[in-house]
Amino acid sequence: MKPVLIEVSNLQKSYFSEGVETPILHDLTFSITEGEFVAIMGPSGSGKSTLLHILGFLDRHTTGEYRFKGKSIDDYSKDEVARVRNEMMGFVFQAFNLLPRISVLENVKLPLLYSRVAEREWNRRAEEAIRAVGLAHRFQFDAVRLSGGEKQRVAIARALVNSPSVIFADEPTGNLDSRSGVAVMDILQALNEERGHTIILITHEAYMAEHAERVIHILDGRIDKDEKVMKRIRK
Amino acid sequence: MALALRHTLVTSLNALATHKSRSALTILGIVIGITAIIVVTSVGETAEDIIVGELGGLGADTIVVRPGKEPKGPTDIAEVLLSDSLKQRELAALMKKSNVPHLADAAPEVLVTGSVSYGGETFRPVILGFTADFMVKTLKLRVASGVAFDERDIATRAPVAIIGSRVALELFGGEDPVGKNIDIKGRKFRVVGVFEKRGQVVFFDIDELVLVPYTTAQAFLVGTKHFNQIVVRAESPGLVDRTVFDIQQTLRALHDIDDPTKDDFSVQTQQGLVSQVRTIIGVFTIFLSFTVAIALIVGGIGIMNIMLVSVTERTREIGLRKALGATDRDIMRQFLVEAVFLTAIGGIIGVVLGFIISVAVSFFLSRSIGLPWEFHFSLSASLLGIIISSIVGLVFGIYPAYKASRRSPIEALRYE
């Protein structure tokens, strides 16, 4: 049995605006073990992005408990939160979020800048991550000159560079054509299957979720279904 | 750390390059401020150098005794010009070894206004009644052709003159002036010598000088018995203070003055004059620097403004960096480096611009007062300019950097 990475119990999240409480997530309880590939699926407005932000230490829940690697998020200091994001989490966004005027290599090195990894290691690590997503021929390209699919692969390399425990991917194919989308999903799946990275994918498309082993369906801020994927796409 | 700093600089440079004209306009305030600092200090120092250099030409052992009380304001100047407290009697008293033991030499000065002519040519030179010997020695002048007039000529009020090279050229053209008679205010003077070409020395141009014995000038050209000033040389620079004291005692005794504030003469040394000039220029420089400081504050506010805009525009980048593990401190440092970088560039441009303007100003300044061109560029002022501009960036960058560091990371994800 693999250790539990993420443990959520009775998690609730509300936004407050001018004293009015708007609940987003209600009473969520689930756990994710290391090495799992989980898709969180739901229509827009279901609260799945908010959930990802909380899981990724980018936002805080209102009540309930969230334990990451056995430690409650409330026990992490501000700097520790930054450190966890840096060393244990990788993020892949729908909008890629690369810095446009610097090279692919520099973009991938970005997380190392804030890490404890020795500087002499940076280039080697970044190059390795870029190779892993199949872009070795693009090291010195400026990020703006890449196609959408390539950009997202660079973003994945950036997420990989610190060998995180978990990669959060928020609609990673949302801005891509279907072919590039499939390529990106194949990479994520390979990272999970071949390298054992835990991957949490947010999507609203059922066929994307089929790359995962497990799908948590969110509807109106509640878990609707939590099921194993029967016909997982084989690479 | 070094690579991290380089990354920050590259990012900053990119951010600045994206908005070239905006960046340029933003740093304009800093550029103007630093340019002004460089120009003010550089021109100030050049002016000081010129003036002090000129005064220094007289020599540190030189003492000037002027009639009338020490001028403290514009109304006193008239008194100096009109006062007749220095005459032959005073000169004789000063020359006495028992009164002023360390006096090496002394010569009275009589200023004459008027023009000189020879044949059909007329010229308006500086006409000075003085002793040739003192003049030649103090200014280390050479009489290029002919001879200098001497003690005997002074004693006999001889109508002789030594003329400057420009005067010779204007009146005689190519002819040799020595032995010829020139006309000064209707009187005939024989030219005995011509000074070497020398140009501007201590506030007047040797080349445009006509030097006559002071006795002759008093008797035939101005018709008064007093001197405009007496120039004294002490035996050595170290004896100047002592000699000043002796001069004051001698003249006070001669004029029955008990209260030094009632002195009807003033004694000035070169050191005194130099330090006076330095003080005046110093005060002027401080005043201008204060004005410049205001320009820099205004420039700094411009920087702050544009950095705030930049923080808003780059919300997404800030959020991304935080998601990748940047702490608040990391973000703050990045924006501070950027602000300092921006203002330091402004400072460097300002120094270069200031250098160019200073060269031009000092060139025209020395041209317009007819002095040899001298230029003083202060390295310390340049360094100070760049440091000050960086400090402006640091101070006015803190608030925007703080704002940036407080941005929430989820904004990066929300952003479409």
Domain ranges for chain A, please list them. 4-228
Q: What is the mean pLDDT of residues A211-230?
A: 90
Nearest CA in chain A to B8: A113
Residue B269 inside a domain? The answer is no
B217: its two tokens: 């000038």
Helical H segments across B314-378, by residue range = 315-323, 328-368
Tell whether B242 and B297 lie within a shared domain. no
pLDDT at A152 over 80: yes
Tell whether B253 and B289 lie within a shared domain. no
pLDDT band for position A92 (cuts 50, 70, 90): very high
Element holding B19 (H helix, E strand) = none
Tell whether B150 and B121 lie within a shared domain. yes
Query: Which residues in chain B have their CB less than 8 angstroms from residue A166's CB?
Result: none
Sequence-distant (6+) residues with CB within 8 A of B197 are: B144, B165, B207
Range picked from B5-9, B221-225, B377-381 for highest mean pLDDT: B221-225
- Whether A165 has its CB under 8 Å from any CB of chain B: the answer is no
Interface residue of A58, A112, A167 to substitute, partner B, most B CBs within 10 Å? A58
Tell whether B233 and B352 lie within a shared domain. no
Tell whether B97 and B199 lie within a shared domain. yes
**Residue B211 burial (CB count, 10 A):** 29
Residue B60 inside a domain? The answer is no
DSSP-based three-state secondary structure for A19: coil
Say yes or no for a CB contact (<8 Å) between A86 and B412. no
Those residues of chain B whose CB sits closer than 8 Å to some CB in chain A are 1-4, 7, 10-11, 14, 17-18, 316-317, 320-328, 330, 408-410, 412-413, 415-416
- How far is B319 from B110, CA to CA, in rounded Å? 83
Say yes or no for a CB contact (<8 Å) between A122 and B3. yes
pLDDT at B355 over 70: yes
For residues A64-76, one letter each, b for 16 or more C-beta atoms within 10 angstroms of the residue's C-beta and e for the rest, the string is bebbbeeeebeee
Sequence-distant (6+) residues with CB within 8 A of B10 are: A102, A106
Say yes or no for a CB contact (<8 Å) between A158 and B415. no
B154: its two tokens: 């002074």
pLDDT band for position B259 (cuts 50, 70, 90): confident
Residue B74: per-residue pLDDT = 58
Q: What is the mean pLDDT of residues B173-194?
A: 90
Residue B378: per-residue pLDDT = 74
Residue B56: per-residue pLDDT = 62
pLDDT at B60 over 80: no
Helical H segments across chain A, by residue range = 48-55, 78-88, 104-113, 119-132, 148-160, 178-195, 206-209
Give Cα A103 distance to the centre of its chain: 23
Say yes or no for a CB contact (<8 Å) between B325 and A170. no
Residue B57: per-residue pLDDT = 62
- How far is A225 from A181, CA to CA, in rounded Å? 25
Hey, what amino acid is at A208?
Answer: M
- How far is B122 from A191, CA to CA, in rounded Å? 103
Among the CATH numbers 3.40.47.10, 3.40.50.1000, 3.40.50.2300, 3.40.50.300, which is that of A4-228?
Answer: 3.40.50.300
Say yes or no for a CB contact (<8 Å) between B413 and A58. yes
- Whether A113 has its CB under 8 Å from any CB of chain B: the answer is yes
Residue B360 inside a domain? The answer is yes
Say yes or no for a CB contact (<8 Å) between A101 and B18. yes
Nearest CA in chain B to A114: B326
Nearest to B323 among A85, A87, A95 (CB): A85
What one-character-per-residue DSSP string does B265-298 give?
A: EEEEEHHHHHHHHHHHHHHHHHHHHHHHHHHHHH
Say yes or no for a CB contact (<8 Å) between A49 and B320. no
Q: What is the mean pLDDT of residues B222-228?
A: 86
Residue A5: per-residue pLDDT = 92
The number of distinct structural domains making up chain B is 2
Say yes or no for a CB contact (<8 Å) between A53 and B316. no
pLDDT at B416 over 50: no
pLDDT band for position A111 (cuts 50, 70, 90): very high
Say yes or no for a CB contact (<8 Å) between A114 and B324. yes
pLDDT at B404 over 60: yes
Tell whether B253 and B362 lie within a shared domain. no
Query: Which residues in chain A have their CB less than 8 angstroms from residue B316's CB?
Result: 97
Residue B37: per-residue pLDDT = 85
For residues B32-46, one letter each, b for 16 or more C-beta atoms within 10 angstroms of the residue's C-beta and e for the rest, the string is bbbbbbbbbbbbbbb
Q: Give the residue numbers spanning the domain of B338.
A: 2-55+275-414
Interface residue of A59, A107, A113 to substitute, partner B, most B CBs within 10 Å? A113
pLDDT at B78 over 70: no
Say yes or no for a CB contact (<8 Å) between B324 and A86. yes
Say yes or no for a CB contact (<8 Å) between B324 and A110. yes
Residue B67 inside a domain? The answer is no
Is the pLDDT higher at A188 or at B57?
Answer: A188
Tell whether B22 and B102 lie within a shared domain. no
pTM of the complete model beyond 0.95:
no
- How far is B328 from A159, CA to CA, in rounded Å? 20
pLDDT in tens, B289-325: 788 888 888 889 988 998 898 888 888 888 889 999 9
Say yes or no for a CB contact (<8 Å) between A93 and B11. no
Residue B270 inside a domain? The answer is no
A197: its two tokens: 């990275």
Tell whether B293 and B203 lie within a shared domain. no
Tell whether B404 and B332 lie within a shared domain. yes
B355 min Cα distance to partner chain A (Å): 34
Interface residue of B13, B16, B332, B413 to substitute, partner A, most A CBs within 10 Å? B413
